[in-house]
Amino acid sequence: MSRAYNFSPGPAALPEPVLRQAQEEMLEWGKTRSSVMEVSHRGKEFMALAEQSKRDLRELMAIPDHYKVLFLQGGATTHFALLPMNFARGGSADYVVTGAWGEKAAREAKPACAVRIAASSESDRYFRIPERAGWDLDPNAAYVHITPNETIGGVEFHDEPDVGAVPLFADMSSNILSRPIDVSKYGVIYAGAQKNIGASGLVLVIVREDLLARCPADLPQILNYAAHAKEGSLLNTPNTFGWYLAALVFQWLKREGGMAAIGARNAAKAKLLYDYIDGSGFYSNPIDKAVRSRMNVPFVLRDAALDEPFLKEAAAAGLLALKGHRAVGGMRASIYNAMPLEGVQALVDFMQDFARRHG
Ligand SMILES: Cc1ncc(COP(=O)(O)O)c(C=O)c1O
């Protein structure tokens, strides 16, 4: 076998025990004598998996009872459009833009509601998060939208911003389940699955129940969060294999010690890499240290002419997918939950050796 350390931003590395379990159960899942992909989503076995997965997620994230957990589809991008349709129609929503994904979320909301950019760090090339005191929030906004972790730029909110009585909506696609968070500070948390949850296509939506009363009744049911909540995410055929993988990941997270243990491990991984970059004199990361992402670590080499050799040699050393996003260039190491500390250490060792040979 030649599985390598995969630093892909998404779809990203999955925990090996999860992949192995899925492999073992591929042909016969439980007592069904079928693959999990071949059974009814309304059958008792799948319904039991769905319920268990919700219980596990609620336990992991300490989700209060007055929140609904939905397993939907369409990638996070679909929900950029659905959130304003459901919660802000005819009104306005505030967006705090700290990178490319926040920009896209705001752009996709425009057909459904008035969009106000309450704050943006675009003029600082998204290297920081605008000071909360300077945000121009509208107390009548339907919600305030943030992107807690910007996957491309590598900027992360390390705390929930206080936005008063207006519900806070968060695209946690790239940092959900990476550390303990206080769910009660949010109105909606949503996340595409392909980083810390499982397979692309599946989208997790955690929504405060009272907000569902705002979903317009004349929306097509399939676009309506209240309808999905009423049907327990089984309004139509869900992404059953994606849901199954997510359920395995939640159980793996519990076995690994839950969010406190995972958060500590992720903090240690990020510190190892940033400390090395900062002290190297060969690599650099431009992000304000207070808001550096613990999941996506962009960095540049002293000489961009070395980018291609770096990527080639890294791949040969079993360190994959380190090329930065085309919008920012350089490198990016995505170190989600499934990346072990040993993988980050292997990357640092390689970077050290490369710098010694080319510095
Ligand atoms: C923070 C963030 N939001 C949204 C998306 C878009 O997700 P999808 O491609 O599943 O629609 C991504 C991309 O992976 C992302 O990193």
Nearest CA to ligand 1 atom 16: 151
pLDDT single digits (tens) 256-303: 999 999 999 999 999 999 999 999 999 999 999 999 999 999 999 999
Give the pLDDT score at 2: 84
Asked if the model's pLDDT at residue 1 lies above 90, the reply is no
The answer for residues whose C-beta is within 8 angstroms of residue 334's C-beta and 6 or more apart is 7, 8, 9, 10, 12, 151, 174, 195, 295, 296, 297, 321
Clarify whether residues 267 and 341 are in a common domain.
yes
Please work out whether the CB of residue 75 comes within 6 Å of at least one atom of ligand 1: yes
Asked if the model's pLDDT at residue 355 lies above 80, the reply is yes
Confidence of residue 145 (pLDDT cuts 50, 70, 90): very high
Give the pLDDT score at 55: 98
Please work out whether the CB of residue 156 comes within 6 Å of at least one atom of ligand 1: no
pTM, to two decimals: 0.98
5 within a domain of the structure (yes/no):
no
CB 240 within 8 A of CB 41: yes
Please work out whether the CB of residue 239 comes within 6 Å of at least one atom of ligand 1: no
What are the tokens at 312? 């080639």
117 within a domain of the structure (yes/no):
yes
pLDDT single digits (tens) 329-346: 899 999 999 999 999 999
Clarify whether residues 106 and 240 are in a common domain.
yes
Rg (CA), the chain: 21
Distance CA 20, CA 152 (A): 30
Please tell me whether residue 330 adopts helix, strand or coil conformation: coil
9 within a domain of the structure (yes/no):
no
Clarify whether residues 25 and 142 are in a common domain.
yes
Last residue in a domain, options 255, 270, 301: 255
CATH code, 197:
3.40.640.10
Clarify whether residues 142 and 196 are in a common domain.
yes
Clarify whether residues 196 and 323 are in a common domain.
no
Clarify whether residues 245 and 280 are in a common domain.
no
- CA 192 to centroid of ligand 1, rounded, Å: 6
Confidence of residue 161 (pLDDT cuts 50, 70, 90): very high
User: For the chain, how many structural domains are there in total?
Assistant: 2
Confidence of residue 246 (pLDDT cuts 50, 70, 90): very high
Clarify whether residues 291 and 330 are in a common domain.
yes
Q: Which helix (H) or strand (E) holds 92?
A: strand 92-97
Clarify whether residues 228 and 274 are in a common domain.
no
2 within a domain of the structure (yes/no):
no
Asked if the model's pLDDT at residue 175 lies above 70, the reply is yes
Residue at 114: amino acid letter: A
279 within a domain of the structure (yes/no):
yes
Whether 171 is a known active-site residue: answer yes
Confidence of residue 359 (pLDDT cuts 50, 70, 90): confident
CB 75 within 8 A of CB 192: yes
Q: What percent of the chain has pLDDT over 70?
A: 100
Q: What is the mean pLDDT of the chain?
A: 97
Please work out whether the CB of residue 161 comes within 6 Å of at least one atom of ligand 1: no
215 within a domain of the structure (yes/no):
yes
CATH code, 319:
3.90.1150.10
Clarify whether residues 217 and 304 are in a common domain.
no
pLDDT single digits (tens) 80-130: 999 999 999 999 999 999 999 999 999 999 999 999 999 999 999 999 999
Give the pLDDT score at 327: 87
Nearest CA to ligand 1 atom 9: 75
Give the pLDDT score at 162: 97
Q: What percent of the chain has pLDDT over 90?
A: 98
Asked if the model's pLDDT at residue 193 lies above 70, the reply is yes
> For 160-176, what is the mean pLDDT?
98
Angle of the 75-87 helix axis to the 100-109 helix axis, nearest 10: 40
Give the pLDDT score at 281: 96
Please work out whether the CB of residue 147 comes within 6 Å of at least one atom of ligand 1: yes
10 within a domain of the structure (yes/no):
no
Clarify whether residues 202 and 313 are in a common domain.
no
Nearest CA to ligand 1 atom 14: 10
Clarify whether residues 179 and 246 are in a common domain.
yes
Last residue in a domain, options 240, 255, 270: 255
| Cα dist from 318 to 2, 183, 313, 359, whole Å | 8, 37, 9, 22
CB 223 within 8 A of CB 116: no
99 within a domain of the structure (yes/no):
yes
- CA 279 to centroid of ligand 1, rounded, Å: 32
Last residue in a domain, options 255, 279, 299: 255
Asked if the model's pLDDT at residue 150 lies above 80, the reply is yes
Clarify whether residues 202 and 286 are in a common domain.
no
Please work out whether the CB of residue 151 comes within 6 Å of at least one atom of ligand 1: yes
> For 200-229, what is the mean pLDDT?
98
Closest among 335, 333, 198, 174 to 268, alpha carbons compared? 335
What are the tokens at 111? 């057909």
Please tell me whether residue 75 adopts helix, strand or coil conformation: helix
Whether 101 is a known active-site residue: answer yes
Domain that holds residue 79: 17-255
For residue 151, the ligand 1 atom closest to its alpha carbon is 16
